[in-house]
Chains A and B, each alone.
Chain A
Amino acid sequence: MQTETLIKMANQIGDFFEAEPDKAQAQKDIANHLNRFWTKDMRNQIAKYAKEKQGAGLHAQVISAISAYLKA
């Protein structure tokens, strides 16, 4: 899939959990959402992008969520 599409989707998820006051919890929730609803290929693609491009264009919380909690 187009990486731009995945970035947009991931950022929308990040926007929702932005309101969670507990930042660590928010990161877990974001990763959990990706783990539960995205295919493995989609997860791997966004993880690869986040690593290679240092998360350019990604919501800060999403970057942290991906590096800390995303299932490979």
Chain B
Amino acid sequence: MDDIKYSTHSHSVNTYDPKKDYGTPKSIAEKNVTLDIDGVTVSVPEGTSIMHAAQLSGVSVPKLCATDSLEPFGSCRLCLVEIEGRRGYPASCTTPVAEGIKVHTQTSKLADVRRGVMELYISDHPLDCLTCAANGDCELQDMAGAVGLRDVRYGYEGENHLKQEKDESNPYFTFDPSKCIVCSRCVRACEETQGTFALTIEGRGFGSKVSAGNASFMDSECVSCGACVQACPTATLMEKTVIDAGTPEHSVTTTCAYCGVGCSFNAEMKGQEVVRMTPNKDGGANHGHSCVKGRFAWGYATHKDRITTPMIRKNITDPWQEVSWDEAINYAASEIKRIEAKYGKDAMGGITSSRCTNEEVYVTQKLVRAVFGTNNVDTCARVCHSPTGYGLKQTIGESAGTQTFDSVMKSDVILIIGANPTNGHPVFASQMKRRLREGAKLIIADPRAIDLVENSPHVRADYHLNLRPGTNVALISALAHVVVTEGLVKEDFVRERCEWDSFVVWRDFVAKPENSPEALESALGVKAEIMRAAARMFATGGNGAIYYGLGVTEHSQGSTMVMGIANLAMATGNVGREGVGINPLRGQNNVQGSCDMGSMPHEYPGYRHVSDPAAKALFEAAWGRPLSVEPGLRIPNMLDLAGEGRFKALYCVGEDIAQSDPNTQHVTHALESMECVIVQDLFLNETAMYAHVFFPGASFLEKSGTFTNAERRISPVRRVMSPKNGMEDWEITAKLSKALGYEMSYAHASEIMDEIAALTPTFKGVSFKKLDELGSIQWPCNDEAPTGTPTMHIDEFVRGKGKFFVTQYVPTTEKVNAKYPLILTTGRILSQYNVGAQTRRTKNVEWHSEDIVEIHPHDAEERGVKEGDWIGISSRAGETVLRATLTERVQPGVIYTTFHHPESGANVITTDNSDWATNCPEFKVTAVQVTRVHQLSDWQKHYKTFSDAQIAFANNKLSKKTQQPA
């Protein structure tokens, strides 16, 4: 929170206002300096620019090249000031405050200089203000007014840039160089804010121009994060939606519905129509930055594929019938009652999604536990971060990351394991890259050379541990072996903070010769000396922070590896302060929240086991229904039982198991075997093709609620338009509950949060009112920490003492052999998101229109595969066909692909193997063979026929009027 108070003489305090542009970044110095600006005494932190101080005192100094998201540059010469006793006219953006100086921002001389500067700018700028897209939102226009420019003595006839051609290649914004004033804000934003360095100023003097490296924006290194558009003071870089619609008239702050970074955005509106989404400067997770998804890819919310009317059908081979909400709800309720009577409570369950708000997840698990009467509720974290929940609960006592994102700015050594932040968590990656450019060391453990290894400007990994997929636990043992045997353990920390006995057992285990880097190097495929050097760097390099992703969790030993990471962090004393920590990077926006809200079958909100008598009593009293002490079915268990005809009804909210879960044919067989599948979603997703009831959902722009990001930050989701489907998602669940005889009488999502806060100690202090006041809150938020907890485990671990676990490496049973000699591993790409249901319905497909397989040139050559060839990939589970690209980013023996497009069938080949503790699927290791082929696989052909038919059933659904008599 930016609640720094500044004192001035006319106003006792001036509160920082994030809506204002202070021209230069805020100084965080503790010492204050007092000066006089235009007769007002101001006291500000040392290092503050005169421009920033002036703005705080209420005086706006004219400026063009300065903006407070960027370091000062001093090129536009508009912000000049006079300082008594100093010569000349220093630029207020680059001149820091000094004790006792007297500054004048408005004098007749300054007015002359500024008019002269503006005159030059305007002499080479089109005068089409009235028809310009930035009309009313243009800093050049504002400054021309501010300096009183009335005439341009040079005329407009001379050589100029007005005929320069627009670059409209980017689908979301245009670049119109004729309007450019070469202030370099875009170039600096690309460097400082985003860290991509795609833009540059080419040429000198009059010939200077902004260039995307001699390519169009689309063909350049540009990642379309929007930082340049945000920084541009004119119409040079402009959102196409603003060009089409005009400037927005009101703005509502909300939270992005994509990844686990959870960026805060301003939805800039015209009535109920979004004109643009701009990153919120005051956003705790993103500080005014964005990526191509959150900034631009929100058009899916109004996409023509949205289904907005409820639908039902008896069989999945029938066309859908459009019905009223009441009919749909009553039909679903009657089916649930019928199935309960026939097969029992345990044949029913629900699945929530990390794309749901906390409030939606909460009411869904409440419905399943209190109304269905079973604990058969699970969430998609099952297939991504369930091992994080388990492993961190066991070792440190809380199923969540330990830090804030900002903590990375105090890290000295960053260890990334099985995560690809520049693609999966781009806005946080930009912050991490900034820290790396400042000199932090970087160690990457990943089978594949992610961009941060050596493909990010001014960032290079010190060590890339390119291990074989499936050998994580061997790696963590080898690293720990070095720490333990070379005397690098922070023993003071361990003695004070951890269970010493557990440490001794662990220490003796990892010290065994078979856990040495030398003993494990052949299994890992990483040289022993590199592992030794990396371990020494991590243990001795200062603040060491571990960031990890699904490359850790989605393995048969995912939970073991999470515990191994916690062991290493504790042994090296890297928990409990800023700059260190165990940081799971969550895939989707509300992975943390969906787990917090009790959507796992064994625990209530706040991670309390269903067998805990106190928790059971608490929830029974609050909900007024008897609750079961028995853990329910996890998603894979539900699907196994469904395939055997013993699990019959599923309420699936916002999740698409038919695309995202492993072994697709197993999943679809299970879905086909159920008698009532209820899907609640924006679109007819893959799972909905097997559904009997479709409840149309509301997009994040159409509802109220909260998301909780990877740093436990609860952020508000605010309704900016009416739901096209008629109601918010929690209302649908509440209606279904009522139809089943249990009233959920909430008037607003905020009342659901009030109930959560009343029942969950870590959420005790959370309310929508407090979120309005603070912007966002990191849990735990309670009486001890009323504004939240940025860093956890500071004085002691949540479980008291940290506990070490012995992590024996057990190789996966998914082994390569002569028939399946390669390993397939999967990941994601910047422009697409998860199953792609949202991003595939935006112009992001221009970056990634199909899933491609990366194969090493050596493996390709052996199989006669060339760039762009179709290749068949077969595994023990199935076969699919994708296009190949040859790259040395993957190591020989390993191929890689993404799963954003359903027709790719990436999960047709992944297997049922899963994590020992949580059943999280082993997506990252599948033994496969690859051959050159000329046609789609049988599965793909069948998929095409099936999906075409299902889409037709939805498009040609029977409305009331056309309905045939039964």
Contacts and interface: CB of A to CB of B under 8 A. Distances in A.
A39 B609 CA distance: 13
A42 B609 contact: no
Contacts of B509: 19
A16 B631 contact: no
Interface in B895-922: 912, 914, 916-919
B808 interface: yes
Interface in B235-289: none
Interface string A60-71: 000000000000
B631 A19 contact: no
B644 A12 contact: no
A48 interface: no
Q: Which secondary structure dominates where chain A touches chain B?
A: helix
B602 A37 contact: yes
Nearest to B812: A12
Given A1-B641, A36-B611, A19 B919 contact: no
Contacts of B676: none
Contact of A13 (B346, B611, B633, B917): B917
B632 A16 contact: no
A42 B632 CA distance: 10
Contact of B637 (A1, A13, A20, A40): A1
Nearest to B609: A36
A52 interface: no
Contact of A16 (B560, B633, B634): B560
A2 interface: yes
Nearest to A35: B611
Contacts of A41: 346
Interface string A1-37: 1100100010011011011110000000000010111
Given A1-B637, A9-B919, A12-B556, A18 B808 contact: yes
B505 A16 contact: no
Given A1-B637, A2-B640, A39-B633, A9 B808 contact: no
B808 A16 contact: yes
A27 to B, nearest CB: 16
A2 B645 CA distance: 12
Q: Which secondary structure dominates where chain B touches chain A?
A: loop
Interface string B619-630: 000000000001
B631 A37 contact: yes
B630 A19 contact: no
A15 B611 CA distance: 25
Contacts of B557: 16
B144 interface: no
Interface residues of A, number: 21
Contacts of A12: 556, 810, 916
Contact of A15 (B634, B637, B810, B918): B810
B806 interface: yes
A42 B637 contact: yes
B565 to A, nearest CB: 16
Contact of B916 (A16, A20, A36): A16
B196 interface: no
Contacts, number: 55
B583 interface: no
B807 interface: yes
Interface in B635-666: 637, 640-641, 644
Contacts of A1: 637, 640-641, 644
A9 B916 contact: yes
A39 B647 CA distance: 13
A61 to B, nearest CB: 13
Interface in B348-362: none
A33 B611 CA distance: 13
Pick from B560, B637, B912, B918 the residue with the most CB of A within 10 Å: B637
A40 B346 CA distance: 11
A1 B638 CA distance: 9
A19 B807 CA distance: 7
Given A15-B810, A18-B808, A36 B917 contact: no
Contacts of B609: 36
Contacts of A2: 640, 644
Interface in B117-170: none
B232 to A, nearest CB: 53
Contacts of B556: 12
A39 B916 contact: no
Contacts of A5: 640, 912
A33 B631 contact: no
Contacts of A38: 631
A19 B806 CA distance: 6
Nearest to A41: B346
Given A1-B641, A1-B644, A18-B808, A39 B630 contact: yes
Given A38-B631, A39-B631, A16 B917 contact: yes
A64 to B, nearest CB: 18
Pick from A20, A21, A37, A38 the residue with the most CB of B within 10 Å: A37
Nearest to B807: A19
A20 B502 CA distance: 10
Given A21-B505, A36-B609, A15 B808 contact: yes
Contacts of B346: 39, 41
B916 A15 contact: yes
Contacts of B917: 13, 16, 33, 37
Contacts of A39: 346, 601, 630-633, 637
B916 A19 contact: no
Interface string B593-606: 00000000110000
A37 B919 CA distance: 10
A69 to B, nearest CB: 14
A37 B918 CA distance: 8
A29 B164 CA distance: 72
Nearest to A21: B505
Contacts of B559: 16
A28 to B, nearest CB: 15
A40 B630 contact: yes
A11 B615 CA distance: 31
B602 A36 contact: yes
B640 A16 contact: no
Nearest to A14: B916
A38 B640 CA distance: 14
Contacts of A33: 917
Nearest to B916: A12
Contacts of B644: 1-2
Nearest to A12: B916
Contacts of A19: 509, 806-808
Nearest to A16: B916
Contacts of A15: 808, 810, 916
A2 B634 CA distance: 15
A38 B632 CA distance: 7
Contacts of A36: 602, 609, 611, 631
A33 B914 CA distance: 16
A33 B915 CA distance: 13
Interface string B556-570: 110110000000000
Interface in B431-450: none
A16 B602 contact: no
A21 B505 CA distance: 8
Contacts of A18: 808
A21 B641 CA distance: 36
Pick from B505, B916, B919 the residue with the most CB of A within 10 Å: B916
Interface in B539-557: 556-557
25 contacts: A1-B637, A1-B641, A2-B640, A9-B914, A9-B916, A12-B810, A12-B916, A13-B916, A15-B810, A15-B916, A16-B557, A19-B509, A19-B808, A21-B505, A36-B631, A37-B602, A37-B631, A37-B634, A37-B917, A37-B918, A38-B631, A39-B632, A39-B633, A39-B637, A40-B630
Q: Which 9 A-B pairs have the closest CB atoms?
A: A12-B916, A19-B808, A19-B806, A15-B810, A1-B640, A40-B630, A16-B916, A13-B916, A37-B602
Given A16-B559, A36-B611, A39-B637, 4 more contacts: A2-B644, A19-B808, A36-B602, A39-B631
